[in-house]
Amino acid sequence: MVLKILHASESKSARVLHEAALVDVTMSVNNPLLCNDVNVVGSLNPFRASVDLSVKHFFFASSAAVYGDSKPAKRNEDMLPKPILPYGVSKLTAENYVQVFNDVYGPETSPCDTLMCTGAGKVLYPATVQ
């Protein structure tokens, strides 16, 4: 759907903001292949379309899950990534593709880490994963 919209656009967009993802951490554990398909392959499609359409800047919404199980108050973007669940791995993989697309294909790209944007009462990692 997004690709059809990008390709159907008559004007070249200066910016693309990609926020789509499978964010269900439990589902990522139960079905890591689906998580990879949605979060990695599903990110490569708009990256590639953005290159093809000469988009000037591509923003990618990542996740604090790439930092693993650190306490929210201690998370910052200078930390080394250490995901502990498939969801975090998929977001980190897509982040790495963002950098590769920037280096290889040219459009300026920005991974945007959404540190502590889970909302009141939300838990990044459930206590139990079934």
Count up the domains in the chain and report the number.
1
Alpha helices for 9-126 (secondary structure H): 25-30, 32-36, 42-52, 86-105
Answer yes or no: is 124 within a domain.
no
Q: Pairing mode, if any, of strands 15-18 and 57-61?
A: parallel
Task: Render pLDDT for 74-120 as a digit per residue (tens, 0 to 9).
Answer: 666 677 888 899 999 999 999 898 888 888 887 676 666 555 455 54
**Do residues 46 and 2 touch, judged by C-beta distance below 8 A?**
yes
Answer yes or no: is 126 within a domain.
no
Answer yes or no: is 40 within a domain.
yes
β-pair partners for 16: 58
pLDDT bin (cut points 50, 70, 90) of residue 5 is low
pLDDT for 17: 74
- Domain of residue 79, residue span: 13-112
Which residues are tagged catalytic?
Answer: 87
Higher pLDDT, 63 or 125: 63
pLDDT higher than threshold 60 for residue 121: no
Answer yes or no: is 125 within a domain.
no
Answer yes or no: is 102 within a domain.
yes
Task: Render pLDDT for 34-89 as a digit per residue (tens, 0 to 9).
Answer: 999 999 999 888 888 888 888 888 888 888 788 887 665 566 667 788 889 999 99
CATH number at residue 50: 3.40.50.720
